[in-house]
Amino acid sequence: MNHVDIAGLPVGDGHPPRIMGVLNMSVESNYDPSTWGDVDGAVEHAEQMATEGADIIDVGLQSSNPKNPWQAVDTELDRLDRALEVVDRADCDAVWSIETRYAEVADAALDGGFDMVNDVCGFADPDMPDVCEKHDAAVVKMASPPDIQSPGHLKSIDDCFAALERGGFTEKTIIDPAFGGWYDEKTHEDNWEMFRRLREFRAFGRPMLTATNREDFLGVVADRPETEDQLAVSLAAATMEVERGADIVRTHDVPETADVVAVAAFLGDGDRANAGDADGDAASLPNVAAREVERNVGLRGHNGVEPGEAATLSFRTTGLNEPIRERLAAIGADYGVLVAAGAGERPSPENVAGGRGDSPASEGTFVAGTASAFEDALAEIAEVDALQPLAGRIRRTLARERLA
């Protein structure tokens, strides 16, 4: 992981996830609780967010919501004067981030007291990387097409990966996968798929920012279509984002999000407590699926070992009688698949003849191995009638992982 220092605030492995509070200073922004047209109100809100747990305050000068028209650079520069007054007057220790798509605005903001840039157009302005490097400033690169008017207007996870790769990175780049609905190009289904596969973005080896707070693709899951009713679904998502690799969580709801992120980091499977080995930089990557292995291989190359040999899959199946378990164990031994039968695997007598037993006391049979081993063993497993449910689950998992 490339650790990033943002004006003394470390972000990345070995450090707790950071909270980015939203402060919009644009008249067209759609979420009123985070929008301030007057400097006095913006100062008070910024100080409140810092008190409630915001490590970073992200000041927006125009809305990136596709429902609103884009604003030219002169509009952002006019609004920057009020934003700089907020930075100057606010009494808080939070890091200040300027959300913009223009290198000219970023340059003026960094000169005036901002600490970092949140580029919602992902270096569509080709001068943005140079400006940030000149100021030694961190920059969030959101996955976007090379179009200054179209932040985030991408569909698939592959499109987002390609956009992040385009134009490269600075030494202090933080990536943003670009969740949301961008002119209907990215549907709810696209967002759900990208959320499930969020760990793949760890392949870049860079800190990651997620921004899903009060997004409709979450609200629809719980039948909460109105923005004001989407706090609970946003908090549920934030816990999973941290589990899947988010280092910064951007939110309108700072105190609630700070609480759930702290719990997710403390109780999760990640390695937040360790910054790396003394002789180098190493971090564990929990829950690595085959597609994440493929992403790392695609970005880095490899030593000739097939990606399927590096990703482990695990399954549990229940109700197998002794002969079927022995048959499964024999197949596993042939192909390097671990088979462990539970002590309570005692099928009911009426199901013994069919090879299955659905005893309530059954602990099930645990089956684990590499994706490649399961690929090789699948045909033989599928030949056994009683193992058809297991074979079907293996087949679907491999297909989902793009290995079969």
- Are residues 168 and 21 both part of a single domain? yes
Taking CA atoms, 139 is separated from 134, 159, 210, in Å, by 12, 21, 14
Nearest of 360, 364, 366, 371 to residue 394 by alpha carbon: 371
The Cα–Cα gap between 383 and 389 comes to: 11
Separation between Cα atoms, residue 374 and residue 309, nearest integer Å:
10
**The domain boundary residue, chosen from 252, 282, 312:** 282
Q: What is the structure's pLDDT at 348?
A: 47
Shared domain check, 312 and 207: no
Q: Which amino acid is at 337?
A: V
- Based on the domain organization, do 303 and 182 belong to the same domain? no
Would 28 be classed as within a structural domain?
yes
Are 97 and 178 in a shared domain?
yes
The Cβ-side half-sphere exposure at 205, using a 13 Å CA radius, reads: 14
Provide the CB-side half-sphere exposure for 142 (13 A, CA).
25
Cβ–Cβ < 8 Å for 153, 183: yes
Question: Do 14 and 149 belong to one domain?
Answer: yes
| Ordered mean pLDDT values, 10 residues apiece, the chain (404 residues) | 89 94 82 73 95 97 81 94 96 96 98 97 97 98 93 91 96 96 80 95 95 94 95 98 96 97 89 52 76 87 83 89 92 95 52 46 79 95 95 91 60
Q: Do the domain assignments include residue 312?
A: yes
Would residue 185 count as lying in a domain? Answer: yes
* The pLDDT of residue 270: 62
Domain boundary among 261, 282, 303: 282
Q: Where are the beta strands (DSSP E) in 234-377?
A: 248-251, 312-317, 338-341, 365-370
Residues 358 and 307 in one domain: yes
- pTM score: 0.87
- 282, 305, 322 — which closes off a domain? 282
In this structure, the answer to whether residues 389 and 254 fall within a common structural domain is no
Q: 392: Cβ–Cβ under 8 A, 6 or more apart, which residues?
A: none
How far is residue 104's CA from residue 74's CA, in Å, rounded to a whole number? Answer: 10
Q: Give the chain's domain count.
A: 2
Q: Which domain holds residue 222?
A: 4-282
Q: Is residue 140 part of a domain?
A: yes
Which residue pairs, CB below 8 angstroms and at least 24 apart, start in 348-357? 351/319, 351/321, 352/321, 354/385, 354/386, 355/320, 355/321, 355/323, 355/324, 355/384, 355/385, 355/386, 356/319, 356/320, 356/321, 356/324, 356/386, 357/319, 357/320, 357/321
Cα 57 to Cα 19: distance, rounded to the nearest angstrom: 9
Q: Are residues 256 and 359 in the same domain?
A: no
| Vertex 215: Cα angle to 19 and 211 (nearest 5) | 30
Same domain? For 262 and 355 the reply is no
Same domain, 247 and 298: no
Is the same domain home to 273 and 335? no
Q: Provide the pLDDT for residue 291.
A: 85
| CATH of residue 98 | 3.20.20.20
Quote the Cα angle for 129-154-11, to 5°.
Answer: 45
> Smallest Cα–Cα separation from 359: which of 372, 344, 339, 369?
344
User: What whole-number distance in Å separates Cα of residue 27 and Cα of residue 35?
Assistant: 8
Query: In whole angstroms, what is the distance from residue 259 CA to residue 369 CA?
Result: 37
What span, in angstroms and rounded, lies between the C-alpha atoms of 251 and 267? 21
Do 191 and 75 share a domain, yes or no?
Answer: yes
Q: Is residue 287 part of a domain?
A: no
